[in-house]
Each structure stands twice: as C-alpha cells, then as structure tokens.
Structure 1
Amino acid sequence: MDIFSNTSRARLQALYSDFSRQKQSNPTAFQANVEWWRKALESLVDSGVQQTGTGSIGSRLVLQANRALLDCLRLEKVGKPLAMGAVINDLRSRKILISLHKFMASKTSIYDAGWLPYRIASFVVGRPLWWALEQVGIVGDEGVLTSISHSQKETDWWGEYVFVEHVERAADAVLSLQESKTTGPADALYTLDGFRKSFASVFDASNDSLHEVDTRIILKYLERERRVLVLDTEVVKFIDSTTPHDERIITTVDRGILELKSAISNMQRQVDGIHRKMDEYTNKATTALQQKWKSLALSYLKSRKQLEDLRNKRLVSLSTLESTMLSIETAAGDIQIMKTYETSTATLRAVLSHPSLQRENIDKTMDALAEANQDAREIDNVFRTDGDVAVGVDNDDDDIEEELQALVKGIEDERSAQRLQNSQVPSILPAVDEPVKVKVLLPPN
C-alpha cells in the first residue's frame, strides 16, 4: 500500500510500537498515530485482500480485526503493530468503526446519539473528571461501567467492524446507478442475487457480483438510514424516501412484476446461449468442409437448423413477455398519474373551499375595495385643493387659458419684431458679381 511505502522506517517503528499510553501523556501524537492507522486500515479494506473464511473475495466494507490482521500487517525488521487494540478502540469510540453485529441488529439509525444515560454523563461530566474515571475503569471507550479487568484483555478489540464512511460511499454509488436506469416499476425491483449482480460495479467495474456481506450491509443501510428501499426475504424494492409508512411494503403485484422480470432475463439468456451454439455449429461445419468431411458438415448444419427453430420460438416467447411487461408498466404509470390527478384535485378543492374565496366574501371584498379607492381619491383631491389654497394658487381654468394665450402672443410678437429688424440692416458684403480687390502691402527692401 502507498501509505506504507511513503512512510520512513523510523516513523514506521514509532507507529508499530505500543503508543497507547500517549492517549493521556501526549494526546496530539496519539491522535496523529491513530489517523495514520485509520488510513492504512481503510486502504487494506479497500483492496479486498482480507478473506472472509469462505475463500471468496474479501469484503470491501468490513475489517477483520484479529490475529490474522496483525499477521497481515507484519513488517520485516519492524514486527507487528503493538497498539492496534488502542487504535481499534479509538475508532470505535468515534463511530468510525461499528461492530458488524451491532450494525446489522440495531433497530435505530447508527447516527443516533446512543444510550441516554451515557449521553447525559458525557454532557455533564467534565473532561478532567472523565479522564480520572477512565483511569479507574468506571468509564471507557465503549461507555459507562467498563471494568479494569475487561479493558485489559488483549483480544477485546477482536471482531468484525464496518467502516461507516465506506458504507456511505457505497450507498451513494448504488443510488446514483439506480437513478440512472429507473424507467418503470420493474427497474425498482430486484432479487438478492439480481441486486448483487446489478450493482457489482460499485467497488470495482471488473466484479461480477457484490460480496454477500457487503450486500447485506448496503441493503440494511439503505433501508434503515436512507429509507429508500424495502427488503422482504428475497425481494428488494427501491422507493422514495418520502413514501408513507403504510406504503413501505412489497405487494403481490410487486412480486408478480419481479417474477416476470426474472422470466424475461432468463429467456434472454437462453436466446443468447442458443446464438452461441449456432455460431459454434457454423464454425464446425466450415471446418468439416475445409477437411472435405461433407457428411459431418451436414450433421452440424442440421443441428444448427434445429437450434434456429428453437431460437425463433424463444424469440416469440420473449417478445410476448416483453409486451406484457410494457403493458404492466404502462398501467402502473397510469395509476401514478391518476393518483397525482386525485391529489391535485383534492388540493385545488381545499384551496377553493377557503372562506375567503366564497362568492359573498369576494363581492364584499371588491365592494370594500371600491369604496376604499373612492375614499382615497376624495382625500387626494382635498389635499390638492387645500395645498393650492395654502400657497395662494387660483385654479380657475379660464384665467389659466387666457394667461397661456397671452404668453403665446407675446412670443409671436417678439419673433415678428426680430424679423423686421433683420430686414432693415444694410448689407456690408459686396455683390456676388463684383470683383473683390485686395491690396497687398510689401515690406520695404
């Protein structure tokens, strides 16, 4: 892993030493070491190299914390990590790691604050007193009343732990992939095996199927924390997170759609298999003809012909199943549309039934509005009149008209007088046809 190759030998020796006592004496160094190990353990789980005991590929979400982990992390000339127990316990206390058993068995969200007495103690008790209680074993990483003898067991930290951050990323990837291909009710339904195959690329595009443990963890997280699916034995159904509680069920219709979806998938695989066999018989017949084995080539061609007839029958069946599925999805879509119409109608009627929208209230409101506008106009007129009186303005229209005409007449008289004056001024310019004589004065020699 890169984190090991990028760390010096001296640093590795410090990380592999028993630094657990630094939690009290040097908390900063302790947390720095724990953070380094957190990244190392995450890389280990991401690689999937840990075995689950079944011989299959390792989980990408679960850390196997036991003696095998220490052996896996052993380095030549450095040894085994002596503080791994302290690292695991610290990660558990911060909910970075959660016991697999607790994760799967919990009825409440993993984001819940936890046990009420412990929350009260954590809030009320000051950190100095909390540290003192840790020393005597009254409290510990797991909660209240942790005994000294229990905390000193070397194997207390052994177990299977879920990396919460890994689960969150995997859940996001599953939802993103699901949203990209959802077109109808059938796309929201899966068998467990179908789910494992459909979302195999969440961790690695080359995978054919999700690990069984990872599948159970992701489904539990999406069901409990995200509330976006319903799980019932072998059936997985994606739903909207806002779906009411009484509708979070898998109905007989859902099971019927899933059976039809599985039948279509199986029929498609049969057709693909027939195509491959037909290609094989074609290649064999060609090879036989090249070697001049005519009778063998005819036998291969006859078998190919039989497979072709079978393929045609399967294609007809597949077309019928797909048409049926399309009809079901169309009907299901129509149901959703009708539900939307019903909701919209009820909402509109509820709005229209408001007392403010009754005919009598509307008439009263409009009459009151008209009266208010009339009052406003009257008040405005009063203010205008009183204002003119206050400044001595006479608003007689005839006087204003006469004053305007007098101004217009004065302007016209002024313009006439100006034109008359301009016409009486003698021209000082020579006539156009008279030559202009210019006298040039030269300077004396």
Structure 2
Amino acid sequence: MALPTTMSSPALSTLPTYVSTSKSRLQSLYSDIHRQKHSNPSSFHAYVDWWHGTLKDVISRGWQGSDGSDGTSNKLILGARRALVDKLRYEGVGKPLGLGTTIAEMRRNNDLIPLSQFLTSQQSMYDPGWLPYRIASFVVGKPLWWAMEQLDIVRSEDSYTEAEMWKKIEGDYVMLGLVVQAADTLETLRGGTGISPADNLYTFEEFRKEFGAKVLPGVVLSEIDTKVLIKHLERERRVVVQIGDVIKFVTADHDREITAVDRGILELKTAVRNLREQVDNIQKKIDQTTSNISKALRQQRKSIALAELRFKKHLDDSLSKRLGSLHNLESTLISVETAGGDIEIMKTYESSTATLKAILSHPSLQRDKIEETMDALAASTADAREIDDAIRMGGDMVAVDAGIDDTELEAELNALVEEVEKERAGAVEQAVLEKLHSIEAHVPEVAPVEAEAAPRRTAEAA
C-alpha cells in the first residue's frame, strides 16, 4: 500500500501507536517540543519514543511511497524529507511540527543511521571500540562546542527552527530496529546452514527473490533494503560473506572466503534454476496450446487447430531437450557438490591427523616416558598396599595388647541376652498375675440369696 500525499486519518489510526493514544495526547505529540529537551527531558524522550514506534510502523508497511531505486517503496530506510510531514497529517490534529527535531534525536541515539555510512562503514555498530571515542567526544568535544557557542562561532541545536533542522537532517536513514527484526526473521527461516553447499550460495537477485518477501510481514524488500540487510548480516552477525554478486552463508570464520568451487557451484545452481523456469514456461505454453486446439476443434476451425498442433509439437521437442539438459546439469551439480563435500571431509581428516600427531608427539606419550610412568605407578601402588597392610597389622596388635578376647566377648554377650530374656519373661508373668487378680476382684464368693438363707438353715438345725 503506497502512502498518499496526505495520508488519511483512518490509515494512521490503525497503527498501534495511534490506537492506544487519545486525541488530546496526539495534539501534544504533534506539537513542537524541541525546546523541552532540557526543560522537561522526560516528556521530550517520551515524545521521541512514540514517534520512533510510529515511524517504524510507517516504514515497514511501505507507506513512504515509491522511493526505492527499483520503483518500490523502502521498508528498512526512512526518507527524511519535508514531504513526510504532509504525509503524516492527522485529521483534527494537523501536521507533526517537531518531526525534524525527533529525527535528529533518533539519529543521535543511533536508532537512525545515515544510509551511506551504514553501507560503507567497516566497523560494526556494536563494536565496543566505539565507546572510548564517544567518551572522548563527550569529555573533549562538548566543552569545546560550548565555548564556541558562547562566542557565537557555532549555534546550539536548541536555537534551530524546525525549518532549519530539516535542512540539517534531510536524507536517507537506516531504521536499525527494522534491520534487526528482518535479520532475526531470516535466521529463523534458515535455521542454520543449508543441507548442501548450493543451499548456502546465492546471487544478489536470487537472495532477494528467496528472502525479500519473507522477512517482514506482508511486504517485499526493495533493492536497497536487500543491500542493507546483507551488509548487516555480513558485518554485525557474520553469518554471510559477499564478494561481488556472490553471497555465501557461513558458520565459522575459517569459512569466510568464496572459492572457485563456490563460484562453480553457484553457476551450476543458477543454470539449473533458469532451466527449471524455462521448463515451467514451456509446459505452460503446451497447456495453453492444448487448450487452443480443443477450442478450435469445438468451433470447427481445423486449420487453426492444425497450426496449433504443429506449434505444440515444436514445444514438446523443446521441452524434451530442456528436460535432458536439466537432468544433466542437476547430475553435474550433485557430482560437484559431492566432490566439494569430499574436499571438506579431507580437510577435516588432515586437521584431525595433524591434531593427533601433535598430541602423540607430546613428551608424556613417548614410549620410554610411558614405561617410566607405569613403573612408578606400580611402585607407588605397592608402597600404598604395604602401608595399608602395616596399618591393619598395627590395629590388630593394639587390640591384642588391650587384652581383648573374642571368646570372652561372645560369652558376655550371650549372658546379656539371657538376662534380657529373663526380664522379659518375668514381665510377662507379672502381667498375667495382675490380670487374674483383677478378674477375681470382680467375682463375688457367695450369691446374695444363699447368704440370706444360710442363717435360717442354721437356726432350724439348732
């Protein structure tokens, strides 16, 4: 979707930063607050952060317009020009009055990097070596700049009008956050190196066709976007190397070269891809010709059907030849890849052999040294065994000197066991007796009726 000269409010209102922002807040964000950088820094930085998110969304959707060199809109690059102010007009709010100041601040924060600098710099933007330079710039440069401001030799940025700020910052800038997002997506898609050497080799156009429509949702990268992405992958992530039109995915620093074998494989891969496209095109023409023949026959136009049939025969012959060539090229590519793989295997063998030789040449692994070490180990083991035997014998002697007899110990142990068993039996017997006594205490000796009748029987007897 191309960005019109004046973007409609409904289009802007779909962006996440606008959805969550009230109209009164938008009016504040669209105002010119560049003088608040020192008077109200928290508000100023919140303002810059909001516009940072908004510009990322606008760029990644291709809403800047067809500003790419190939006629497509850039998706990773901000075209910082005054026309952008008009494109971001919002109904009921107006134009963003402080956009130039915002872009200047984003450039200072390295959220935006000048396109020419990004493409030509040899040093990574993540290189910690930049830190001392930044510190020196702050410690040395800032006081000097302040002194020059006091003498009216130079002007403070706070004194620039918005129009003057635009003249200072106008140009093309790489949106670093979008480049990182695209690179993350690409590495996730690839999941490492390819299965075969050909899977890791691309021309620039093949790279763009393969990944240009996949790294950002719903859009296709422009030619300059692709160059920026490749530069980031090569310099910051070190996962590709590019020489001329050849791009190679790599996994280690020792593989960061493009050999004659790589170029040969890429040429074969490109030829195979071109032949496949030719085969597909010929097959489409054959299908279309077959349809034309059927249509002509239905309309009783036999002469046209005959002409189409002759054309189809030529196409069939051409297809047969192209399929034969494709088969030969694919076989050759497989053979070359196999040979290239064999070279890598032999390099690994050579490296392993050299490593093994280096290890075996160590003085500790010489035969005389090994025999000496093993003899010393046997002697040490014998000494340790003798010491252990001596300690054990000394313990036995100490036990004898203490007058301890195992027979006496066993007899004493048996006596203790018998004593414990007797105590246990006595305790059981005592418990039984107590239980019997309790039973007797609850049973009366004479029934009550018999007790009353006994005196009467005694009296009658008398």
* Shorter-normalised TM range: 0.7 to 0.9
Is residue 60–residue 203 contact of structure 1 (8 Å, CA) maintained in 2?
A: no
Q: Letter of the aligned partner of 1:297 in structure 2?
A: A
CA pair 176-228 structure 1, distance change in 2 beyond 3 A: same
Residue of 142, 149, 156 corresponding to 2:168: 156
- TM-score, normalization by structure 1: 0.80
The match for 2:335 is 327
Segments of 4+ in structure 1 off by > 4 A?
132-139, 204-207, 393-396, 442-445
Structure 1 pair 358/326, CA: closer, same or farther in 2 (3 Å)? Answer: same
Tell me how far 1:185 sits from its aligned partner.
1.8
* Partner secondary structure for residue 213 of structure 2: helix
Which of 253, 278, 289 aligns to 1:243? It is: 253
1:88 to 90, 98, 103: 103
Residue of 62, 71, 78 corresponding to 1:56: 71
**Pair 386,50 (structure 1): closer, same or farther in 2 beyond 3 Å:** same
Look up the match of 2:226. Answer: 215
C-alpha contact 2:183 2:215 (8 A) present in aligned 1: no
Asked whether the 8 Å contact 2:70–2:223 carries over to 1, the reply is: no
Amino acid at match of 2:136: I
* Secondary structure of the structure 2 residue equivalent to 1:17: coil
* Pairwise CA RMSD: 3.4
Give 1:204 shift: 4.8
Instruction: Give the AA of the match of 1:191.
Output: T
Over alpha carbons, which structure has the higher Rg?
Answer: 2
Which of the numbers 83, 87, 90 marks the counterpart of 1:75? 90
Count of residues in Structure 1 that have an aligned counterpart in Structure 2: 399
Letter of the 2:394 partner, please give it. D
**Distance across 1 between alignment mates of 2:204 and 2:297:** 48
- AA partner of residue 155 (structure 2): I
CA positional deviation for 1:59: 1.1
Alpha carbons of structure 1 residues 205 and 38: separation in structure 2 relative to 1, 3 Å:
closer
Which residue pairs with 2:266 in the alignment?
A: 258
Report if aligned partners of 2:30, 2:96 keep a CA contact under 8 Å in 1. yes
Unaligned stretches of 5+ in structure 1?
A: 140-144, 415-441
> Where do 1:61-140 residues align within 5 Å?
61-112=76-127, 113-114=129-130, 116-122=132-138
- The 2-side partners of 1:181 and 1:70 are apart by 43
**Tell me, what secondary structure is at the counterpart of 2:169?**
coil
The 8 Å contact of residues 69 and 223 in structure 2, kept in 1 or not, is answered as no
Cα distance in 1 between the residues matched to 2:263 and 2:70? 33
Cα distance in 1 for partners of 2:259, 2:206 equals 19
Cα distance change on mapping 1:346 and 1:53 into 2, 3 Å: closer
> In the TM superposition, what is the alpha-carbon distance from 1:330 to its structure 2 partner?
0.5
Helix, strand or coil: the match of 1:162? Answer: strand
| 1: CA distance, partners of 2:154 / 2:354 | 61
Question: What is the CA-CA distance between 1:292 and the residue it aligns to?
Answer: 2.3
Map of 1:232 onto structure 2: 243
Highest relative contact order (Cα 8 Å, sep 6+), 1 or 2?
A: 2
TM-score (norm 2): 0.77
Residue 184 of structure 1 aligns with an amino acid whose one-letter code is S
1:382 is aligned to: 390
Unaligned runs of 5+ in 2: 1-14, 419-446, 451-462
Higher normalized helix content (fraction of residues): 2
User: For residue 378 of structure 2, what is the amino acid of its counterpart?
Assistant: A
Q: Deviations over 1:141-174 (max 9, x none)?
A: xxxx993167723221222111112111212223
Identify which of 13, 18, 37 aligns with 1:4.
Answer: 18
Whether 1:189 aligns to 2:201 is: yes
**What CA distance in whole angstroms lies between the structure 2 residues aligned with 1:201 and 1:114?**
34
Q: Percent identity?
A: 44
Q: In the superposition, relative to structure 1, how do residues 187 and 443 fare at CA in structure 2: closer, same or farther (>3 Å)?
A: farther
2:31 and 2:98 in contact (8 A); partners too: yes
